[in-house]
Every structure is written in C-alpha cells, then in structure tokens.
C-alpha cells in the first residue's frame, strides 16, 4: 500500500450530548504485533483470526519489520507497525518489544498465542465509545465518522485510521517458518494518525485514498501519547 498521500478532514459539527448520556458500549480492540519470520507467531495469527470473528471485537494484525533480516522478508511488514508497538511499550511502561504481542484496548498486553490470557484481558477490558463509521464514497474511500460523547475529557486525543485485508495466505520459503503456508486475518496494510481532537461528540468526514484496495477500515481514538483507547469503530469496504 502507498504511504499517506492525502487526508482530508472536515469538521462538520460539534454535537450536543443526547440527554447528557455517554455511549460506553463500544467494541474490544485486539492488536497483534506479529511477523512471518517468527516461529511463535502462527498460533497467535490463528487466534486473532478466531477472535476477530466474534461480535463486538475489532481485530488488527500489525506485521513488524524487525524480523526481516532473519532470512525472510515479511511482505506485510510496515515501519508504522513497529512505531506503534514502541509507543505502546512507552505507554505500558515496558522496556522492550516482542512478537507475538497482543495489545487489548490499548490498555494491557500479553503473549499473543496465550488464549487464556487474551480471554482474561478481553473480559477485563475497559468499556470504550463506539465510533459510527459509514462509507460515503468507495473510490477513493470517503468515510463519515460520528465520535460519541465520552466520560473522559478529550485532551489532544489522537485519531488513527487503519486499512486492512480480511484474509491472506502466504507460503514462506525461508526463515524460521520455512516451508509453511501461513494464514493471516485482518492484516493492516496502511495505518496513520489523521487528527487530534479536543471535543466530543463530533461528526467529521475523512478521505482515505490509501484504503482503496482494502477490505475494511478501523478507526481508533487514543488518549494522549497513544494511551488507552477511548473509542473505536470499523466498516467493511467489500
């Protein structure tokens, strides 16, 4: 996928809260940091694919490039994946990054193939708001977003967009997974922060030309410095 070429952000309106209520029934977001060059990652990839089919879960696989020197270059690896993982390490006060790592709701992490540990984090995940996402145009993709009223005041909240492929199959010729055919789900092919917000609820339109070949788009609203998620949503493009 090409790197960011154009993002158009149009602030449509700051909406009044409906009856003063907040919307706190949002999804649970699972982010797997993985690599085709890591022999421990395929079980985590499979787990993400399984969990991502559940109602109320947004699953994203961020392939990192720091395994690429070990004999196999992951075709899905993105520099932004490692950058995002390092930002989580700072937020979660970790000294290092690793694969496979599963980050849940931007607030907690565990080994990506530990099914029981991931289930515990899902059960304990803090509730977040639901970002309403609809498609206004498909070529290029133009989204209409509605970010709800939130309990926490927004201070430099960061809005991310991630475009992903629903399913990919790759035969690995070299490296730790040499000779294996790997199944991948929810593979991020482009991701970037696109705006900072200081107020909600709000409606806005967003043009994402990088997502033209994607199967879906996830929208993630973080606290400052990529802190825990405040709200999230997604939409299928195909």
Is residue 16 scored above 80 in pLDDT? no
Give the start-to-end residue ranges of the domains of the chain.
8-236
What are the angstrom distances between the C-alpha of 125 and each of 103, 109, 179, 198? Answer: 11, 11, 37, 24
The pLDDT of residue 152: 78
Question: Looking only at Cα atoms, what is the longest distance across the chain?
Answer: 59
CB 50 within 8 A of CB 57: no
Residue with tokens 């055919």: 181
The pLDDT of residue 24: 41
Question: If you average pLDDT over residues 17-45, what whole number do you get?
Answer: 80
Over residues 80-135, the pLDDT tens digits come to 999 999 999 999 999 999 999 999 999 999 999 999 999 999 999 999 999 999 99
CA distance 51 to 100: 15
Buried b (16+ CB within 10 A) or exposed e, 72-109: bebebbbebbbebbebbbebeeeeeebbbbbbbbbbbb
Give the architecture-level CATH label for domain 8-236: 3-Layer(aba) Sandwich (3.40)
CA distance 232 to 173: 37
What are the angstrom distances between the C-alpha of 92 and each of 127, 152, 178, 224? Answer: 18, 19, 33, 13
Label residue 179 left, alpha or beta by phi (over 0 means left) and psi (-120 to 50 means alpha).
left
pLDDT band for position 163 (cuts 50, 70, 90): very high
- Per DSSP, helices labelled H in the chain are 41-51, 79-91, 115-124
Over residues 174-193, the pLDDT tens digits come to 999 999 999 999 999 999 99
Q: Which of 137, 141, 101, 107 is nearest to 122 (CA)?
A: 107
The pLDDT of residue 207: 96
Over residues 216-225, the pLDDT tens digits come to 999 999 998 9
The pLDDT of residue 153: 81
| Positive or negative: CA dihedral 165, 168, 173, 174 | positive
What backbone torsions phi and psi does residue 91 show, to the nearest 5 degrees? -65, -40
DSSP 132: E
Q: How far is CA 20 from the centre of its chain?
A: 29
The pLDDT of residue 9: 41
**234 or 21, greater pLDDT:** 234
Is residue 5 scored above 90 in pLDDT? no
């Amino acid at each position: 996928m090409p790197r960011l070429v154009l993002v158009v952000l149009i602030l449509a309106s700051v909406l009044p809260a409906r009856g003063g209520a907040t919307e706190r029934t949002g999804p649970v977001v699972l982010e797997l940091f993985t690599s085709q060059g890591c022999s421990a990652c395929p079980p985590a990839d499979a787990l993400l694919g399984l969990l991502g089919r559940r109602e109320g879960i947004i699953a994203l696989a961020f392939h990192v490039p720091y395994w690429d020197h070990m004999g196999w270059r992951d075709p899905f690896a993105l520099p932004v994946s490692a950058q995002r993982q390092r930002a989580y390490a700072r937020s979660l006060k970790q000294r290092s990054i690793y694969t496979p790592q599963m980050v849940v709701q931007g607030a907690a992490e565990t080994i990506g193939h530990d099914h029981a540990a991931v289930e515990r984090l899902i059960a304990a995940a803090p509730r977040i708001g639901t970002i309403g996402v609809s498609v206004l145009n498909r070529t290029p993709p133009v989204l209409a977003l509605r970010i709800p009223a939130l309990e926490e005041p927004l201070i430099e909240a960061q809005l991310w967009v991630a475009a992903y492929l629903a399913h990919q199959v790759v035969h690995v010729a070299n490296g730790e997974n040499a000779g294996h055919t790997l199944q991948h789900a929810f593979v991020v092919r482009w991701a970037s922060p696109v705006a900072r917000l200081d107020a909600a609820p709000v409606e806005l339109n967003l043009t994402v030309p990088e997502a033209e070949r994607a199967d879906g788009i996830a929208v993630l609203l973080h606290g400052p410095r990529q802190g825990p998620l405040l709200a999230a949503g997604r939409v299928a493009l195909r």
